[in-house]
Amino acid sequence: MKNKILVNKTREKLHFYLIAGGKRYYLFTQNFSKGVWQFFQGGRSENELLNFRSWRKNPRLDKTIEKIPMYTRYVLREEAA
């Protein structure tokens, strides 16, 4: 099953979740950014993130995409333990 990243928006925060194996895991929260929200609004698969090619067009989005694999590995490792 493919892993997917979903984002929920609250007042001024974006909450990132990993959907893996039919379960939902919390990854992290960051301040709201319109560009990040628009990119993740419908959810994104891990493959889409790994194949992201628009680097340096939105620094906030770049930083967010760079940290997702690290958080994903941590969550999946903790779940397996």
d(CA 29, CA 51): 23
Amino acid 62: pLDDT: 94
Using one digit for the tens of pLDDT, what is the confidence trace for 15-53? 999 999 999 999 999 999 999 999 999 999 999 998 888
* DSSP calls for the chain: ---EEEEEEETTEEEEEEEETTEEEEEEEEE--HHHHHHHTT-EEHHHHHT---TTS-HHHHHHHHHHHHHHHHHHHHHH-
pLDDT band at 54; cut points 50, 70, 90: confident
Amino acid 80: pLDDT: 85
pLDDT at 1 over 70: no
